[in-house]
């Protein structure tokens, strides 16, 4: 059976892009990849497996920190993190639909299903299911790996641009944020970090 899975990366990271990926393919073929949670894999291993996953129809949607902060600010917070993610999942699924017709779509549940379904319609909308901790499903595991690979690649590029090593996650990031502000000024933080995190006010 042809299935699709979607997952995101960057949601819990202060620095870096927000990324959503969807992967589609025969369930048995995806299962043969024997993918694990990418958070438990080395960067080298993730990038190696990415080549295998990209053999399947896929779509990746990404939003830079600067665009994310503008969306959050210009809508008065109405487009919060989950609303933005919902829109991104829908866009990725629409792109994927042009290359693949899955009988079932599973999204690793991150919020109320409505934040995604509001942007979908027709057969695609009816085929979407939401599951918590869905990375055990081959298609979702593949999407998680693809999203993580793109997040890591973009994070590395941001670090080079800033001249500061930008750590992943939301702990142990204050010193890097302080160094970023010292080098480039407070306004520059919006180009590298998700400003709505509490860390910003603590700085």
pLDDT of 182 reads: 94
| Spatial separation of the C-alpha atoms in residues 78 and 164, rounded to whole Å | 32
SS3 (DSSP) at 12? coil
pLDDT of 80 reads: 87
Closest CA to 30 of 6, 51, 2: 2
| Domains of the chain listed by start with CATH number | 2-202 (3.30.420.10)
Confidence at 77, pLDDT banded by 50, 70, 90: low
pLDDT of 180 reads: 94
Q: Is the pLDDT at 73 greater than 80, yes or no?
A: no
Query: Checking DSSP bridges between strand 104-108 and strand 18-26, what pairing results, if any?
Result: unpaired
Mean pLDDT of the chain: 93
What pTM value is reported for the model?
A: 0.94
The gap from C-alpha 68 to its chain's centroid, in whole angstroms, comes to 12
pLDDT tens by residue, 104-156: 999 999 999 999 999 999 889 999 999 999 999 999 999 999 999 999 999 99
pLDDT of 84 reads: 94
pLDDT tens by residue, 18-53: 999 999 999 999 999 999 778 888 889 999 999 999
Angle, nearest 10°, between helix axes 81-97 and 65-74? 120
pLDDT of 137 reads: 94
Average pLDDT over residues 4-21: 97
């Amino acid at each position: 059976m042809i299935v699709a899975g979607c997952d995101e990366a960057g949601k819990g990271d202060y620095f870096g892009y927000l990324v959503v990926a969807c992967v589609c393919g025969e369930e048995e073929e995806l299962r043969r990849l024997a993918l694990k949670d990418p958070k438990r894999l080395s960067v080298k291993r993730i990038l190696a497996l990415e080549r295998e996953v990209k053999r399947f129809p896929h779509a990746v949607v990404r939003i830079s920190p600067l665009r994310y902060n503008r969306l959050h600010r210009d809508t008065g917070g109405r487009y919060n993190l989950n609303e933005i993610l919902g829109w991104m999942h829908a866009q990725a699924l629409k792109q994927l639909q042009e290359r693949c017709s899955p009988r079932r779509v599973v999204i690793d549940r991150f919020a109320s299903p409505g934040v995604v379904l509001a942007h979908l319609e027709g057969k695609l909308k009816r085929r979407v299911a939401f599951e918590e901790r869905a990375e055990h499903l081959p298609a979702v595991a593949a999407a998680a790996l693809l999203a993580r690979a793109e997040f890591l690649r973009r994070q590395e590029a941001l670090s080079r641009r800033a001249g500061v090593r930008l750590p992943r996650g939301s702990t142990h990031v204050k010193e890097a944020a302080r160094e970023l502000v010292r080098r480039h000024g407070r306004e520059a933080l919006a180009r590298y970090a998700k400003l709505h995190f509490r860390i910003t006010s603590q700085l």
